[in-house]
Amino acid sequence: MQQLKNIAVLAGDGIGPEVVEQAVKVLKTVSEKYNLGLTFQEGLIGAIAIDETGDPFPKATENLCNAADAILLGAVGDPKFDNDPNIKVRPEQGLLRMRKTLGLFANIRPTVMYEELADFSPLKKERLEGVDLIIYRELTSGIYFGEKSTSEDGQSAQDVCYYEVSEIERIAHLAFQAAQKRRKKLCLVDKANVLESSRLWRRVVQRIAPQYADVEVSYMFVDNAAMQLIVWPAQFDVVLTSNMFGDILSDAASVLSGSMGLLPSASIGNANYLFEPIHGSYPQATGKNIANPMATILSVAMLLRQFDLDAAATDIEAAVHRCIQEGFVTEDLNKERFLGTREVGEKVAEFLG
Ligand code: IPM
Ligand code: MG
């Protein structure tokens, strides 16, 4: 395992800079406590990068990411690009190009429940008991990156869902290894009753499953999985799926816990590791010191764990949990009694002591 020293910080757009600032504060606190000697370097991505350089993922940022041991990302996106279908350069292109060029092939999204926040969930309490699942979404291939075209007369268009065995294998191995460290269950979600590419996923997963004999494998069609995530989410441990199915299911899974503002994610490649909150740039809240920094702070815990710094990661998770228990939260989690983004970050840092 490579050592963690140098972190590229890409704050991005909207509330990105505010939540990232708090996460960096927390990282600096654990860096001192555990003598990690972490260093930070900032780079541009998204709308702000377009404004300053014309490119949502400038070469300088790519170089910075490649030189860093890990990347911390805030959020990407600005409404000024959303309503004009003729705009050529968009912030999201930066995100997609970053994933592809850095080879971030596995997107990992845990859904963790906090008992104290069960009332925020759209599901009834009894359906939430025992929910602890993690989605492994393939991130650099499939329909997102397959051949795309629009016919010359503009009357038809296509996006090809293309997968290679090697692309399925590498994420399947990560998902199986994760299952081995968890409840030892893996569910492949696909549409193998219709799609050839899904049948390839099944063949690959069936072929490598015997290497992980202690993991119980199941298969589920994606339409059923969308339903099962709502009626009985506790049945899932590790969910393995392709790019677009994972995009859709991870949004569904993200609301189970009741707050998007709490959920971290990791995107893993062979040489790069990126960590970000799953929420977006939340433009309406920009600059107001109201955004919940906990998802980004918990992303930092995932970052540390990736580098086997388990004690520091556990400290952060415990500090966030204590803030929730003692009511040091932003407005989204308590309308009557709340703190600002900065103050929550400071509380987490203080509890790290
Ligand atoms: C996500 C987002 C992105 C995706 C968008 C912004 C391109 O929805 O990270 O899940 O579709 O992958
Ligand atoms: Mg999405």
Distance 180 CA to ligand 2 centre (A): 27
Please, which residues have CB within 8 angstroms of residue 203's CB and are 6 or more apart in sequence? Answer: none
Atom of ligand 1 nearest to the CA of 139: 12
232 closest CA partner among 247, 215, 244, 220: 220
Give the domain 122-257 fold: Isopropylmalate Dehydrogenase (3.40.718)
Do the two domains 1-110+258-353 and 122-257 of this chain adopt the same fold? yes
Under 8 Å between Cβ of 6 and 39? yes
- For the entire predicted model, the pTM comes to 0.94
Whether ligand 1 lies within 6 angstroms of the CB of 169 is answered as no
Distance 246 CA to ligand 1 centre (A): 10
Tens digit of pLDDT per residue, the chain (353 long)? 679 999 999 999 999 999 999 999 999 999 999 999 999 999 999 999 999 999 999 999 999 999 999 999 999 999 999 888 788 899 999 999 999 999 999 999 999 888 889 899 999 999 999 999 999 999 999 999 999 999 999 999 999 999 999 999 999 999 999 999 999 999 999 999 999 999 999 999 999 999 999 999 999 999 999 999 999 999 999 999 999 999 999 999 999 988 888 999 999 999 999 999 999 999 999 999 999 999 999 999 999 999 999 999 999 999 999 999 999 999 999 999 999 999 999 999 999 97
CA dist 57 and 44 (Å) reads 7
Domain assignments of the chain as residue spans, ordered by start:
1-110+258-353, 122-257
Q: Whose CA is nearest to atom 4 of ligand 1?
A: 247
Give the domain 1-110+258-353 fold: Isopropylmalate Dehydrogenase (3.40.718)
β pairing state of 238-241 and 185-190: parallel
Q: Is 115 buried (19+), middle (13-18) or exposed (0-12) by CB count in 10 A?
A: exposed
Instruction: Supply the DSSP string of 208-250, one letter for each residue.
Output: HGGGGTTSEEEEEEHHHHHHHHHH-GGG-SEEEE-HHHHHHHH
Instruction: Supply the DSSP string of 70-128, one letter for each residue.
Output: EEEEEE---GGGTT-TT-S--HHHHHHHHHHHHT--EEEEEEE--GGGGGGSSS-HHHH
Core vs surface per residue 217-230: b (16+ CB within 10 A) or e: bebbbbeebeebbe
Catalytic site positions = 144, 191, 223, 247, 251
